[in-house]
Structure 1
Amino acid sequence: MLFTIEHKWNSEPVMHEPVTISLKHGNNGLQMDINAPFFNDPPAPPGPSGQPFPGLWDYEVVEAFFLNSEKEQYLEVEICPHGQHLVLFLSKRRIIWKESLPLSVQVHKTSRKWEGSVILPWDYFPPSVDQFNAYAIHGSDTKRTYEALYPIPQDALKEGQQPDFHRLEYFRPFSFCTLMGKKWKQPQSCLWKM
């Protein structure tokens, strides 16, 4: 599965090579590969590469959200070109109940591009994932840019509206069976037992 982020959060087109996210079967989880332009703006977070970094969304980052739409439970995964990451478990809109879980992230960057790869353990996914969205953020101050795989349609925008990546109603249908085969069943997660 290959996803290409071609729009800003408000459905305006991006004006650079788009971010791509590839999902495929990995050892004991889902492999997520990112290919993105490297803006180096803002500068790297002040935390060690390879470690969770709270508030990573304030930096240059690519994010993937996996949602169980019935229960409004979702996994948010953020990867930064400098190697930091953030994994959040959320219930309902924005209610974080588990965060900063470990990940082994591989990142390679040049002066113009970066690539990231990670295996997301099946334990990290809420039961019955059926929707997905992805985002990319870069820039500082007035040049801050918020991009969305499935943006808010222009006819649904309201005056003064700001970017909000937790608008679950704009996520779109997603099925692991597309990758794994029709008979595949999502493994149960011991981490999502609440």
Structure 2
Amino acid sequence: MEFTILHEWNSSPIKHDPVSICLKASHGGLQMDVCAPFFNDPPAPPGPAGEPFPGLWDYEVVEAFFLNGVTEQYLEVELCPHGQHLVLLLSQRRHIWKDCLPLSLQVSRTDTRWKGTVILPWDYFPPSVDKFNAYAIHGSQSGRTYEALYPVPENEVQAGQQPDFHRLEYFRPFNFSALMGEKWKQPLSSLWKI
């Protein structure tokens, strides 16, 4: 299952090679592969590669959100070309109740592109995921660019509106059975027993 981010958050077309996200079945979880342009702007976060970094969204990242549209419980995964990551579990819009969960992120990079691969454990996913969105962020100050797989439709953008990746109403249907097979059932998570 592959997704390509072609628009900014407000439906404007991007002006560079797109970010792609590929999801694959894997033993014990979901493999997420990212292939993206490398802007190196802003510079690397001041934290070690391979570790969670709070506030990673202020740097260059690719993000994937997996949502239960009924309960508004969702998993947010952020991957950085410098090797840091951030995993957030949210219950209701923007309400983080668990963060900085571990991941084993592998990153390779050239001067112009980067690739990241990670296995997302099934324990991280809320029950009954049925919606998805993905984002990419890069740039500094006035050059900061926010991109969305499923952006706010152009006719719904309000004057002065800012990018907001937690607009759950713009997420679109997602079904694990398309990847895992019709008989597959999402494993129960011990983390989501809240």
When normalised by structure 2's length, the TM-score is 1.00
Q: Which residue of 2 aligns with 1:99?
A: 99
Q: Which residue of 2 aligns with 1:59?
A: 59
Q: Which residue of 2 aligns with 1:25?
A: 25
Q: Which residue of 2 aligns with 1:78?
A: 78
- Structure 2 unaligned residues grouped into runs of 5+: none
Distance 2:83 2:49 in 1: 5
Q: Which residue of 2 aligns with 1:109?
A: 109
Q: Provide the secondary structure at the position in 2 that maps to 1:16.
A: coil
Distance 1:53 1:107 in 2: 15
Distance 2:77 2:135 in 1: 10
Q: Which residue of 1 aligns with 2:69?
A: 69
Q: Which residue of 2 aligns with 1:37?
A: 37
Distance 1:98 1:69 in 2: 19
Q: Give % identity.
A: 73
Q: Which residue of 2 aligns with 1:177?
A: 177
Q: Which residue of 2 aligns with 1:8?
A: 8
Distance 1:104 1:166 in 2: 25
When normalised by structure 1's length, the TM-score is 1.00
Matching residue's letter, 2:61: V
Q: Provide the secondary structure at the position in 1 that maps to 2:54.
A: coil
Cα distance, 1:187 vs. partner? 0.2
1:125 aligns to 2:115 (yes or no): no
Cα distance, 1:28 vs. partner? 0.4
Distance 1:84 1:73 in 2: 24
- Structure 1 unaligned residues grouped into runs of 5+: none
Cα distance, 1:27 vs. partner? 1.5
Aligned residues: 194
Q: Provide the secondary structure at the position in 2 that maps to 1:33.
A: strand
1:69-109 CA-to-partner distances (Å, cap 9, x unmatched) read: 00000000000000000000001100000000000000000
1:192 aligns to 2:192 (yes or no): yes
**Cα root mean square deviation, aligned:** 0.3
Distance 1:137 1:159 in 2: 21
Matching residue's letter, 1:94: R
